[in-house]
């Protein structure tokens, strides 16, 4: 899209992602400059229209980021620098924040200002008139400097409900300053969908400027409110791709995008891009160092996972039976959770992924069913351990080869004198096609140390292991009904940035159980890489 079709762009429904600005306010989120660049690339690939990325004046990291990001060639997205209206009692050209905003050199800037008279007089301690001129001056100045301004009306809905006349005056001030878009914000996140719809409908069209929506999720309604606003005429939806943000988060754009495109038939991404939604959501989670909620609509690991036997039976006959949309429409996959109730037909379905010709009554199917039952009896559970289950199937149908032999591993625990952190060391010896590798690793705890050592040993032979990152580690002590020693079950979740898989290990020894899960995780990745390469030659 060239610069000339911006008028069209602002008319059609489009997405404004604020992962790097509002999302960065989320608990435990801290983006490096490199992280931010990765997220910008990912969001541009998905095709969001706007990426909001903070203010270069707010800290040196952001200054460096704006320097670097200007070198990227973005195909779909426009970068937006963010700031507030000028300070009171200061001329607009003398406000240092606005100067730093301009230094970002972006075509678009987002400016937030006060809408609620209570905030103006009690928090900002300005007069209502002063606030109006702060809004209008700031926008007029930025427009004169060649910027297109998206105006964020903070607390818009609360403000409107408290004093609709003043709230509308603030929007009029923004419009007469030359704002290109007025974004109505549910900053406290507590507005109900019918209010959002009613108020947005009143505003849209009233001022001759397109209207956007910016919702927070404090009442669990950010997605619903965003959808209602679009139905009422909003054309820009602001939020964060996986819903991260302060408190309960921002509107989850991955859900909204799929809802708009698949349920309402309203395009908001370039054609076909929705098929990469799951992939990009996982990339963003990965960069944010978060494990994506398995139950997240459309993009979660369990969004299309079926468990109960009857459901699985129905879904394998016709997916529509228990699926509201096709998993591949958003780039996700159907999966079947393992459990004893699920039964044989699901196991067969799994096997067919590797060997489509396998029949229900084939001996190998019976063999796998028997093996699963045996392992379940021993404490295994393949639910949430798809990776290990795939390996089990492969081993039984001859689609597996070992990647290394373990000679030994050794763990040494160390309690440092400061008593703060426990360090562990692992030593490992493996063989790959006759060649030996002996490595050592240090980590917080034995599993981490083993992971480091095994990775080092394998990297030489299989560079793909560098991409593996363990994202979750769960230990469950199984109460022993028999007289034998209690067992532990370890579940590991791993990712390579593209895929997420989980593996399981069970033993009476925690380290041994962790080792089994770890080896499955590495083997799963290596075997998938080999298959990908093999397919590339076909
Ligand atoms: Zn916000």
Mean pLDDT of 190-208: 95
Q: Which runs of E-coded beta strand occur in 402-481?
A: 405-414, 423-432, 435-443, 469-478
State the distance from the centre of ligand 1 to the C-alpha of 22, rounded, in angstroms: 6
Length of the chain: 538
State the distance from the centre of ligand 1 to the C-alpha of 475, rounded, in angstroms: 37
pLDDT tens by residue, 243-279: 999 999 999 999 999 999 999 999 999 999 999 999 9
> What are φ and ψ of residue 44, in 5° steps?
-65, -40
* H/E stretch holding 89: none
Ligand 1 ion: residues within 5 Å (CB):
22
Q: What letter would DSSP give residue 189?
A: S
Mean pLDDT of 373-397: 85
Percent of the chain predicted with pLDDT > 90: 60
pLDDT in the model for residue 483: 45
> What are φ and ψ of residue 500, in 5° steps?
-120, 135
> What are φ and ψ of residue 426, in 5° steps?
-125, 140
Please provide the DSSP assignment of 40-57 as one string: HHHHHHHT-SEEE---TT
State the distance from the centre of ligand 1 to the C-alpha of 214, rounded, in angstroms: 7
Say whether pLDDT at 7 is over 90: no
State the distance from the centre of ligand 1 to the C-alpha of 406, rounded, in angstroms: 52
State the distance from the centre of ligand 1 to the C-alpha of 73, rounded, in angstroms: 27
State the distance from the centre of ligand 1 to the C-alpha of 48, rounded, in angstroms: 18
pTM: 0.72
Q: What is the mean pLDDT of the chain?
A: 88
113 close to 154: Cβ distance less than 8 angstroms: yes
**Full strand arrangement of the beta sheet holding 405-414:** 405-414, 423-432, 435-443
Percent of the chain predicted with pLDDT > 70: 91
């Amino acid at each position: 899209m060239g610069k000339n079709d911006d008028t069209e762009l602002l008319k059609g429904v489009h997405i404004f992602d604020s992962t790097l600005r509002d999302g960065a306010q989320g608990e435990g989120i801290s983006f490096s400059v490199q992280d931010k660049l990765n997220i910008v690339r990912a969001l541009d690939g998905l095709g969001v229209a706007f990426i909001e990325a903070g203010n270069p004046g707010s800290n040196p990291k952001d200054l460096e980021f704006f320097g670097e990001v200007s070198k990227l060639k973005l195909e779909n997205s426009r970068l937006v620098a963010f700031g507030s209206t000028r300070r009171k009692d200061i001329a607009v050209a003398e406000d240092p924040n606005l100067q730093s905003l301009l230094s970002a050199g972006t075509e678009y800037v987002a400016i937030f200002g006060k809408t609620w008279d209570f905030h103006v007089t009690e928090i900002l301690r300005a007069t209502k008139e002063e606030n109006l001129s702060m809004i209008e001056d700031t926008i007029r100045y930025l427009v004169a400097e060649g910027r297109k301004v998206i105006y964020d009306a903070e607390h818009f809905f609360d403000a409107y409900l408290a004093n609709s006349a003043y709230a509308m005056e603030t929007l009029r001030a923004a419009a007469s300053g030359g704002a290109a878009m007025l974004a109505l914000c549910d900053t406290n996140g507590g507005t109900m969908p019918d209010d959002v719809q009613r108020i947005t409908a009143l505003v849209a069209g009233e001022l001759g400027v397109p209207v956007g929506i910016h919702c927070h999720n404090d009442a669990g309604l950010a997605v619903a409110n965003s959808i209602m606003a679009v139905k009422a005429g909003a054309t820009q939806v602001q939020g964060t791709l996986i819903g991260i943000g302060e408190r309960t988060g921002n509107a989850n754009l991955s859900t909204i995008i799929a809802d708009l495109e698949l349920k309402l038939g309203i395009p908001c991404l370039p054609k076909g891009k929705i098929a990469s939604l799951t992939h990009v959501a996982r990339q963003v989670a990965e960069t944010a160092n978060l494990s994506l909620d398995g139950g997240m609509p459309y993009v979660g690991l369990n969004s299309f996972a079926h468990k109960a036997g009857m459901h699985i039976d129905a879904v394998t006959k016709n997916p529509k039976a228990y699926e509201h949309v096709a998993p591949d429409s958003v780039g996700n996959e159907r999966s079947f959770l393992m459990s004893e109730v699920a039964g044989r037909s699901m196991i067969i379905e799994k096997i067919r992924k590797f060997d489509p010709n396998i029949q229900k009554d084939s001996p190998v199917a019976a063999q796998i069913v028997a093996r699963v039952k045996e392992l379940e009896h021993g404490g295994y559970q393949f639910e949430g351990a798809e990776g290990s289950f795939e390996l089990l199937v492969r081993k039984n149908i001859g689609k597996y080869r070992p990647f290394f032999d373990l000679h030994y591993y050794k763990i040494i625990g160390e309690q440092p004198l400061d008593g703060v952190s426990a360090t562990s060391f692992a030593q490992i010896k493996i063989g790959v096609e006759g060649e030996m590798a002996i490595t050592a690793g240090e980590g917080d705890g034995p599993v981490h140390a083993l992971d480091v050592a095994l990775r080092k040993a394998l990297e030489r032979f299989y560079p793909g292991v560098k991409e593996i990152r363990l994202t979750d580690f769960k230990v469950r002590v199984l109460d022993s009904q028999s007289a034998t020693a209690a067992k532990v079950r370890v579940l590991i979740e791993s990712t390579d940035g593209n895929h997420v898989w989980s593996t399981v290990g069970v033993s009476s020894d925690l380290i041994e159980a962790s080792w089994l899960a770890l080896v499955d995780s590495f083997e799963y990745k290596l075997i998938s890489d080999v298959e990908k390469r093999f397919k590339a030659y076909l």
